[in-house]
Amino acid sequence: MDKKNLSRRAFLRTSIASGASLAAVGLHAAPVGIYKPGTYSAKASGIGDVVVTMTFDSNKITDVVLDVSHETPNIGQAAAKQLRQSLLKAQSADIDAVSGASITSQAVHKAAAKCIAQAKGEIPVEVITKTEAADDGDWLGKPPEIAEKDIVDTIKTEILVIGCGTGGMFAVAAAAEEGAKVIGIDRFPTGTGIRDDLAAMNSRYQKKQGTKIDKFEFIRAVTIYAAGHLQQDLVKVWCDNSGATIDWYGDRLAERGVELWHESGDKVDSAYHHHFPTGHSPRWRTSDDGTGKPLNGNKVLYDYCVKKGARFDYNTKMVELERKNGRVTGCIATNKDGKYVRYVASKGTVVATGGYSLNYKMLEALQPWTLRVIGRNRSVQGRSW
């Protein structure tokens, strides 16, 4: 982001709230032209929230400020300059999308249209709090203040798994197999599922096909892929355990009549990176979930866990972890009715809420080099890596 943008964002931070009051002042001015002069802001969803702030005199849009700090750096953020110029030139929200940045362009279009409608007095003035645009590096923020009287229920368990995606479902299953009382919670109406192409080393499927991978050669290669930004001992944990995990998953699939195949792309000698045949994919096509639809990994593991006594609370979003003497004891979450509930886990809490590859503030604070890489961010909400 260049200096000009930075100062504009700084301006936004300090003046967005007052922008609304400026706008309100504008509303009281006598309407002599198309617009009620003043500064108006509006928000729309792009990759994150996009905030457009426009200043009007009676007949013209005189300035545009875009806060696209939650957009992908090399894509949406890079398109901001062009989008701003287009809005000023068009004197309208009807501008062409910037090629490759259609999501951000669409959000800018929507928010700009709302600013214009506010300036014409067609819709009420939108008030945007400055926290939305904060770029103070405080990615964690303050914990929410939740009054005891607002907590409507306390749910006790031995193990609490927060987030029922790829990792969480395996954690719930592992706890249930050990005979623990376990609850898995997820913010969505169902878990977000198990990915279909799963890598492993030394699975029985690989052994059967004679696939051999040298563990230390593999660790060396992924260290190069990651330009050294990784923890080798964690990769070794994966090397040592992924085969057994895939064998376990293969058993669960076999119980439902689904085959797991060891597959990998053809070895291309000219490829820059060394190819490791780690792939495993379930053959869902001939499967049936009992309603005539093909099965999926989430359904297979959900049914297995419930059979083993696990419980799932969906539409339940963790808002705060709770601690006693430094140890996490559970969490406070909002339930499906939007009410606060407390989970108390006597034996342990597993946080499996995924990665943060769409949280640019957190990336900037914890691994800024990632944001300097020239490439495309293919992360999607609920499927992090």
Q: Is 223 in the site for ligand FAD (CB under 6 A)?
A: no
Give me the 338-357 binding string for ligand FAD, x by CB under 6 A, dash otherwise: --------------xxx---
Interior/surface letters 211-236, b for 16+ CB within 10 angstroms, e for the rest? beeeeeebbebbeeeeeeeeeeeebe
Q: Does the protein bind ligand FAD through residue 282 (CB under 6 A)? A: no
Question: Number of residues in contact with ligand FAD, rule: CB under 6 A?
Answer: 29
**What letter represents residue 368's amino acid?**
P
Check: CB of residue 169 under 8 Å from CB of residue 191.
Answer: yes
Token pair listed for 263:
């597959």
Q: In this structure, which amino acid lies at residue 207?
A: K
Strand 38-45 and strand 49-56: the pairing is antiparallel
CB of 208 to ligand FAD, least distance (A): 21
Q: How far apart are the first and last CA of the chain?
A: 25
Taken as a whole, the chain contains a residue count of 385
Q: Which residues pair with 328 in a beta bridge?
A: 323
Residue 193 beta carbon to ligand FAD: minimum distance, rounded to whole angstroms? 7
Residue closer to ligand FAD (CB basis): 60 or 283: 283
Extract the tokens encoding 13: 């931070």
Stretch that binds ligand FAD, among 11-19, 188-196, 223-231, 305-313 (CB under 6 A): 188-196
279 bridge partner residues = 199
Among 142, 324, 327, 378, binds ligand FAD (CB under 6 A): 378
In the range 310-339, which residues lie near ligand FAD by CB under 6 A?
Answer: 317-318
184 binds ligand FAD (CB under 6 A): no
Q: Does 299 bind ligand FAD (CB under 6 A)?
A: no
> Is 293 one of the binding residues for ligand FAD (CB under 6 A)?
no
> Can you say how many angstroms the Cα of residue 380 is from the centroid of all Cα atoms in its chain?
6
Toward ligand FAD, which CB reaches closer, 95 or 310?
Answer: 310
**Run of H or E including 317:** strand 317-324
CB nearer to ligand FAD: pick between 29 and 230: 230
Answer yes or no whether residue 380 interacts with ligand FAD by CB under 6 A: yes
Using the contact rule CB under 6 A, the part of the chain among 81-89, 189-197, 229-237, 363-371 near ligand FAD is 189-197
- On whether the CB atoms of residues 53 and 59 are closer than 8 A, the answer is no
Label the pairing between strands 151-162 and 340-351: parallel
Nearest residue (CB) to ligand FAD, 27 versus 321: 321
Residues of this chain that bind ligand FAD (CB under 6 A):
162-168, 185-188, 191-192, 195-198, 317-318, 352-354, 378-380, 382-385
